[in-house]
Amino acid sequence: MAEVSEFRWPVRVYYEDTDSGGVVYYANYLKFMERARTERLRALGFEQDRLREEYGILFTVHSVQADFLRPALFNDALEVTAEVVRRRRASLTFSQQVLREGDDGTALCRGQVQIACVDAGSFRPCAIPEPVMRKLSDVG
């Protein structure tokens, strides 16, 4: 088994991410988490469009649980984690955090996101392809 390393993806808060008070709008934390999950899969060698082309699958969000702890503000430098904490035949559960960079990694938001593997044509649940599952098993 390969060494487990924490995956982090940098995000800068742009004006468009904030409300009129300069605070990140809550739904944008979910966008930040989505980007980190996508980049996590990319780092493992799996592009979303190629998963569809080669295996006929898509990953779709099934459920989200999020705790909003502190506000992120305009121009903050953030890091978003994305760790697979549960693998099942047709789903993955990610544990994620949005952290403020340079502030001792203060957690601003924590969440668990379950994604389902679905057939790209029917959108019905299907098994995660073995090469994908194997690579995910190698990292933790």
Which residues are catalytic, by number?
Answer: 19
Tokens of 138: 């190698």
Tokens of 129: 């392809």
Tell me which DSSP letter residue 25 carries.
P
- d(C-alpha 55, C-alpha 57), whole Å: 6
Q: Which residues contact 124 (CB under 8 A, 6 or more apart)?
A: 118
Residue position matching structure tokens 């559960």: 93
